[in-house]
Chain A
Amino acid sequence: MKPWKTLALLAALSLSLAACGGSGPSKAAPTNKLTVWMMTGGPGDNKIIGDVTKQFNEKHPDVKVTVEVQQWDNIVTKLTTALASDNPPDIVEMGNTQTPLLTASGALADLTDKKGEFESSGQWLAGLAGPSTYQDKLYATPLYGGTKVVMYSKKMFAAAGIDKPPATVDDLIADCGKLAKAHTSTPNFSAFYMPGQYWFAGMPFLFGKGGTIATDTDNKWTAQMSSAENQAGLAEWKKFQNGCSTPSSIGANTDSPDQDQIFADQKAAMIYVKAWEPGAVAEKNAKVAADAGYFIMPGYEPGKPLPVIVAGSTIGIAQNSPNKDMAVDWLKIITGKAFQQTMTRTIHQLPVVAAFLPTGNVPEVLKLGAQAATVSQALPSTPGEATLETESYNEQFFSKIAKGADIAAAAKDYDKHATEAFNAQSGQR
């Protein structure tokens, strides 16, 4: 550590005492370094990210690219403060629900003029392209998408006399009954282990009834949880959660206890999984994983699966970055078809354009995921969605419904809280 720097810092500190306002960071000169922040679970967390840098270095041979992997906990605060400082990371990945908050705060560089330069940018997945746009300007590009499918134990299905995946929600609940009957001796058995906080699984029940989360008129959001469709969907969610999953799951999330462990321990015949979870199950119990099959969450009518939420990440360039042009080149590579296909094959996330999905030799879980993503609904594209997410508000709401809260009253509370959050724009009040 350089002592002079500490000394200079202390001196500067005492000098700065009087200045209360504090100005924004100054513009720095371009450097020959590119710092990229990527999130766990995405392509940045895998060695394939080296491909992007390698290709990038063909055009910019002198530039050193550093990819640093960040954790999701409290990431919004960290991103905001980091992007607002001097020497911010040049490129940052963020969750699609967090994107509107960052685009609205002015943290990210305007990419509207460059949109045409990104491969097939006109066909980006709606659930990712929507949040990347704010007031008709593009501030980020999609990075990858993710949906969830049902993972089930073929052996347990066969033992319970079920010969094909359920075609409707009612079939599913009936199958749960059969599975439960076949496993009465297993303590805390769940036919379909469904943590009550798993709102990504819950919301589709509302979408299937025709519900939406919120409507937007003249930039004024109104949460719609109290609509007849949503209330009917909530009742279905409760029926499904209570009918298929052990009571101890009502307040749980997917991590605590770890639902993959429960499946690996054969305490559940089905779980609702993200693309990487089969791998996690295999690590814990290879035999169980090998026996597993997959299907898309069925809908209320045969052939009409429940519309899903497309989750995923977007990636943008810091407004304060001195290296914006270089950063755009890097983004073009990571969102391009070649890398997207590598990514899809390696980490099993969905590519940003449906047509990028590689043909042949794709794992079943991914093929089904891509199919499920074709029927999807976007989340409200407002900074308030990030608020609800950081509060775990949706998680707690769905858990509350599963626990037996009065649906009409709970939905009314939801609308009040969510409407307020969706319309809050701090700093612009």
Chain B
Amino acid sequence: MSRMRRKRAVPNAIAVLVSLVVIFPVYWMFATALKQPGKILSATPEFVPWPLSLDNFRTALTHGPFLHYVRNSLLVSVSTVLIALVVALGASIALARFRFIGRRAFLVGLVLVQMVPGSAMVIPLYLMLRSVGAIDFVPGLIITYMTFVLPFTIWTLRGFVAGIPLELEEAAMVDGCGRFGAFWHIQLPLLAPGIVATSIFAFISAWDDYLFAYVFLKSQNNYTLPVWLVSFQTSDGIDNGATIAASAIFSLPVLIVFLLIQRRLVGGMTAGAVKG
């Protein structure tokens, strides 16, 4: 056993070092946000924020109707995820398990659509939303995000479905389950990690978007969090402390969710995204 331990000492040491390097910017964000506003910029950096101060958070949270923005962001992101999942699940099963006319065209289309640079879609989407009167309408954003999230979600889920051994399904059908029963009892539970993983992806794309939210939302009450986040940065000076604190607040929910499902994520999810 001790030979084993010695053999692992070097990789472990490297892992510690790598972890420190990789996590540093994340740490620095929180450390800076917790400093006193006047001590944020200093020529000799203070690596431990002391005394701790919540002033930056206070400034950030009192900048506009924060809870409103949280609500809007959640509404948009969660709806995007739910709609995308419902639509994508069927499509991914069809693509992974069946052959039908137009299947290849659809697959190629999925790949192509993901290649369009996001910023190029601003004007086309704007024209579309305007023609139906959905500018400055929070659910209008859901449609916008669907254009990016849906192709990726179908693609990813398809990999997960393909990963479920066919034998299981066939066995269930032999047992008299029927195709739907087989799906409900066998496939869905096995797909759970994949669905969780895909949801996270979809959630982040919607949660993270600044450009579309900024251009398509007019009234302040309709803003989402990224628009709020950038609002600390103006050409008339930046409130650095508040910006960093806002970044931290904005990152926190995603960080927590990721941590909670960390095991799943590392275990299975990534595989689905890149299934050939």
| A interface, CB within 8 angstroms of B | 1, 5-6, 9, 12-13, 16, 19, 22-23, 25, 35, 40-41, 68-69, 71-74, 77-78, 81-82, 84-89, 187, 255-258, 260-261, 265, 274, 276-277, 280, 284
Inside 8 A of A19's CB, which chain B residues have their CB?
131
Among B128, B133, B231, B234, point to the contact of A41 (Cβ < 8 A): B234
Question: How far apart are the CA atoms of A376 and B215 in the complex, in Å?
Answer: 35
Residue interface mask B154-184, A partner, CB < 8 A = 1 = 0000000000000000000000000000000
- Name the residue on A nearest B143 (C-beta): A13
Partner of B140, one of A9, A22, A69, A78: A9
**A318 CB, nearest partner CB in chain B, Å:** 11
The residue in chain B whose Cβ has the minimal distance to the Cβ of A88 is: B218
The CA-CA distance from A88 to B136 in the complex, in Å, is: 10
Known A73-B233, A260-B237; contact A86-B135, beta-carbon cutoff 8 A = yes
- Tell me if A22 and B131 are in contact (CB < 8 A): yes
Q: Which residues of chain B are near A257, meaning CB under 8 Å?
A: 41
Contact residues of B between 110 and 136, Cβ < 8 Å to A: 122, 126-128, 130-136
Check if B102 is an interface residue, CB within 8 A of chain A: no
For A88, what are the chain B residues with a Cβ–Cβ distance below 8 Å?
A: 218
Chain A min CB distance to B245 (Å): 16
A and B contact pairs by CB, cutoff 8 A, 11 listed: A9-B132, A22-B127, A22-B131, A41-B234, A68-B219, A73-B233, A86-B133, A87-B218, A255-B235, A258-B237, A274-B236
On chain B, the residues within 8 Å of A276 by CB distance are 236-237
Residues of B within 8 A of A1 (CB): 75, 138-139
Whether A258 contacts B38 in the complex (CB less than 8 A), given A12-B132, A16-B128, A73-B234, comes out as no
Shortest distance between the CB of B90 and any CB in chain A (Å): 18
In the bound complex, CA of A277 to CA of B238 (Å) = 12
**Given A9-B143, A72-B234, A255-B235, 12 further pairs, Cβ under 8 A:** A9-B140, A13-B132, A23-B131, A68-B219, A74-B214, A78-B215, A81-B135, A85-B218, A87-B136, A258-B237, A280-B237, A284-B38
Residues in B neighbouring A86, C-beta threshold 8 A: 130, 133, 135
Residues A81 and B126 in contact, CB atoms below 8 Å apart: yes
- CB pair B137–A5 under 8 Å, yes or no, is yes
- Contact of B262 with A by CB under 8 A: no
Say how far B1's CB is from chain A's closest CB, in angstroms: 53
The reply to whether B233 and A16 form a contact with Cβ atoms under 8 Å apart is no
- Whole-angstrom distance between the alpha carbons of A68 and B127 in the complex? 24
Q: Report the bound CA distance from A280 to B239 in whole Å.
A: 10
Q: Bound state CA distance, A84 and B129, in angstroms?
A: 12
Cα distance A357–B150 in the bound complex, in angstroms: 58
Contact of B41 with A71 in the complex, beta carbons under 8 Å? no
B interface bracket (residues with beta carbon within 8 Å of A): 35 or more
User: Which residue in chain A gives the minimum CB-CB distance to B138?
Assistant: A1
Are A16 and B139 touching (Cβ within 8 A)?
A: no
Q: How far is the CA of A22 from the CA of B139 in the complex (A)?
A: 21
**For the complex, is B240 an interface residue (Cβ under 8 Å from A)?**
yes
Counting CB contacts under 8 A, is B20 at the interface? Answer: no
Residue B251 lies at the interface, judged by CB distance under 8 Å to chain A: no
Within 8 A of A (CB), among B26-43: 38, 41, 43
Contact check, A6 vs B139: say whether CB atoms are below 8 A apart: yes
What residues make up the interface of B, taking CB atoms closer than 8 Å to A? 38, 41, 43, 75, 122, 126-128, 130-140, 143, 214-216, 218-220, 230-231, 233-238, 240
Taken together as a complex, chains A and B put the C-alpha atoms of A41 and B135 apart, in Å, by: 27
**Complex alpha-carbon distance, A79 and B137, angstroms:** 17
B17 CB to nearest A CB, Å: 30
* Minimum Cβ distance to chain A for residue B56 (Å): 14
Q: Are B135 and A255 within 8 A (Cβ)?
A: no
The CA of A114 and the CA of B105, in the complex, are separated in Å by 60
Query: Closest CB-CB distance, B74 to chain A, in whole Å?
Result: 11
Closest to A260 in B: B237
- The reply to whether A71 and B238 form a contact with Cβ atoms under 8 Å apart is no
Q: Which of A9, A35, A276 has the most chain B CB atoms closer than 10 A to its own CB? A: A9
> Do B134 and A9 have beta carbons less than 8 Å apart?
yes
Leading 8 A-B pairs by shortest Cβ distance: A41-B236, A12-B132, A85-B135, A40-B234, A72-B235, A6-B139, A22-B131, A22-B127
Docked complex Cα distance between A73 and B122 (Å): 16
Q: Among A9, A40, A69, A85, point to the contact of B136 (Cβ < 8 A).
A: A85
By the criterion CB–CB under 8 Å, are B131 and A82 in contact?
no
Q: How far is the CA of A40 from the CA of B240 in the complex (A)?
A: 16
Shortest Cβ distance from residue A187 to the other chain B in the assembled complex, whole angstroms: 8
What residues on A are CB-neighbors of B138 within 8 Å? 1
Chain A, residue nearest B232 (CB): A71
B231 touches A9 (CB 8 A): no
Whether A16 and B135, one on each chain, are in contact in the complex, defined by CB atoms closer than 8 angstroms, is no
The docked-state distance in angstroms from the alpha carbon of A35 to that of B143 is 26
> In the complex, what distance in Å separates the CA atom of A284 from the CA atom of B37?
9
B184 to chain A, nearest CB (A): 27
Task: Give Cα distance in the complex from A84 to B215, angstroms.
Answer: 12
A277's nearest neighbour on chain B, judged by CB, is: B237
Provide the residues of chain B in CB contact with A6, threshold 8 Å.
139
Contact B137 A9 (CB under 8 A): yes
Task: Name the residue on A nearest B40 (C-beta).
Answer: A261
Candidate in A41, A71, A82 with the most chain B CB atoms within 10 angstroms = A71
